Amino acid sequence: MITVTLPDNSRRTFASSISVKNVAKDIGTGLAKATIAGLVDGRQVDADFIIHSDARLTILTDRSPEGLFIIRHSTAHLMAMAVKQLFPSAQVTIGPVIADGFYYDFAFERPFTPEDLEAIEECMGELAKQDHVITREEWDRDEARDFFNSIGEDYKAEIIQSIPANETISLYRQGEFVDLCRGPHVPATGKLGVFKLTKVAGAYWRGDHNNEMLQRIYGTAWANKKDLKAYLHRIEEAEKRDHRKLNKKLDLFHFSDDAPGSVFWHPKGWTLFLQLLDYMRRRQEDAGYVEVNTPDVMDRSLWETSGHWFNYRENMFLTQTEDERIFALKPMNCPGSVSMFSQGLKSYRDLPIRMAEFGKVHRYEPSGSLHGLMRVRHFTQDDAHIYCTEEQMEQECIDVIDLVLDIYKDFGFEDVVIKLSTRPEKRIGTDEVWDKLENALSNALGVMGLDYVLYPGEGAFYGPKLEFVLRDAIGRDWQCGTLQVDMNLPERFDITYVDDTGGREKRPVMLHRALFGSLERFIGILIEHYEGAFPIWLSPDQAVVANITGEQIEYCKEITKSLRNKGFRVTSDLRNEKIGFKIREHSMSRVPFILVVGEREKDSRTVSVRSRDGTDLGKKTLDEVLYILEEGIKQLGRLDSSAE
């Protein structure tokens, strides 16, 4: 007898071994028809997987995140099947699932064209309608390697050759197409009717630029047409909101081959940058942080002590001096912060010490991965390191989480997903230490009543972490803030404090914390989230005063000076251009208010106020304009001190 326990803890007993799909059929025909795969004792398996002993089972359908993942995985294989049918000489390599979709890399003698993508997509539709049964087969490793060599699939054979000789290889067959894969997959191609191929890009084999260039076809797949339509709409909106395109109107920054991956901030962009910096300084000061600054270039020995030299060196910029000392541009601020803590004797009475730094860091990112403000090589972190006792650790975590979520609300981000990433295989420190650190984070979330998603094995090499994922105005997710707890770096750097018994060997716990993450990337996210129309408190220019003729120039200067003296960011547009041209230009650059001055406004000591959305607010006195700006700041964001 076999007992299968379902998610609601109900149990079903069977006389002998039974497949996942037959358990579903025993529950109901509707569920059996909807079954995609199963989760047996936490492991994803195919629908025809046989359960031989007592187990916990979750039936996966297209309504579950795991089910959607499997649909996308199977659709990647459906695409490979179509490519091989249309272009037999193409070789298939790898095809994983990514956020909202999938891709598959191919080796082919010529570039795929948009017409090719249309043909592949049409062929996929036909193959889905044919409802080919998908079956799993287990092969001997050498047998599988020889098979793929025999059909000209050299890349697959190379992958298999890298697998240990004693491992069983799983292949999946659908029609005449056979592919290497761990699975699981949907039961048949008929489950894969809702998809769209999106683009083709280049990709190096195994991600190594020394290897041959392949062609990567991207696609998306969904459970139903409504979800696909919504996704394609988000993609269309994302194209319109691309911060690189909007920047042409906003004039915030540029990039140059003279400094790949580094931002050249224009006056408006730098103003925006400084607003974020000032905002975070105020919030951190209110939360009991002190601000420090550490060097950008530090000796190799420091990075060896921290472990970065052995775990992160390929991403570091290095330089060597005449005396053969090797230095690195810092990729992270942590070692400099530890060095700061080590200066002078610390007592338990001094803890917690919350040490903040707006540190410039440098990380070597492959040129192909650079993407506007979102992926750069030189950026600024709103970093902080908190040194506390083990007893204070959980409360400090709670305080950081509370601060993070409150700050995100000021930018209009109410929908935040928290991810808890636990110990990776490649790590430093004992399991006992990792237990303490992981418990501190999970307990803090529990005390606050916050839900989180667990990501086993995704922590940093020195400690587990929380990641804060923001959902923007069009439903995209952005990972921004992090909180990491660490007892390993204090050990490696041998930092201590004097405890309440007078002992001088007590190790502090170190919390690593960033809220924006990278200021450059956060600005890119804000540009796209607001479509360039920043909250008034954050806008580089909060208003522009524009004259109609030369007769109003002096009055415009007077209005501008008066508003600037009140702490607002206001400029004048006194160019010899038509007023309609000025209004259109400043509306497109998303200035919140345009203050138009003609002869009647000059005579009445007023301005005509227009908002960036085209609303005519009528003639206003200077005091009324001040009130509009102040109220706008209160409504659209945090009231900054300059306007109080």
Catalytic residue positions, numbered: 334, 363, 381, 383, 385, 465, 512
Q: Which two tokens stand for residue 67?
A: 């089910």
* Distances, alpha carbon 576 to alpha carbons 172, 394, 548, 573, 581, in Å: 71, 62, 9, 9, 10
* Distances, alpha carbon 432 to alpha carbons 259, 488, 493, in Å: 45, 12, 19
The residues that bridge with 379 in the sheet, in sequence order, are: 361
Q: Which residue has the tokens 């109107």?
A: 249
Helix axes 390-410, 267-286, angle to 10 degrees: 140
Q: With beta carbons less than 8 A apart as the criterion, state whether 454 and 489 touch.
A: no
Who contacts 628 (Cβ-Cβ below 8 Å, separation ≥6)? 593, 609, 617, 620
Beta strands in 63-204, from DSSP E residues, in sequence order: 91-92, 97-98, 101-107, 134-139, 169-174, 177-180, 195-204
**Spatial separation of the C-alpha atoms in residues 58 and 43, rounded to whole Å:** 10
Q: With beta carbons less than 8 A apart as the criterion, state whether 54 and 3 touch.
A: yes
Phi-psi region of 484 (alpha: psi -120 to 50; beta: other; left: phi over 0): beta
Q: Quick one: which of 546, 549, 567, 581 has its CA closest to 639?
A: 567
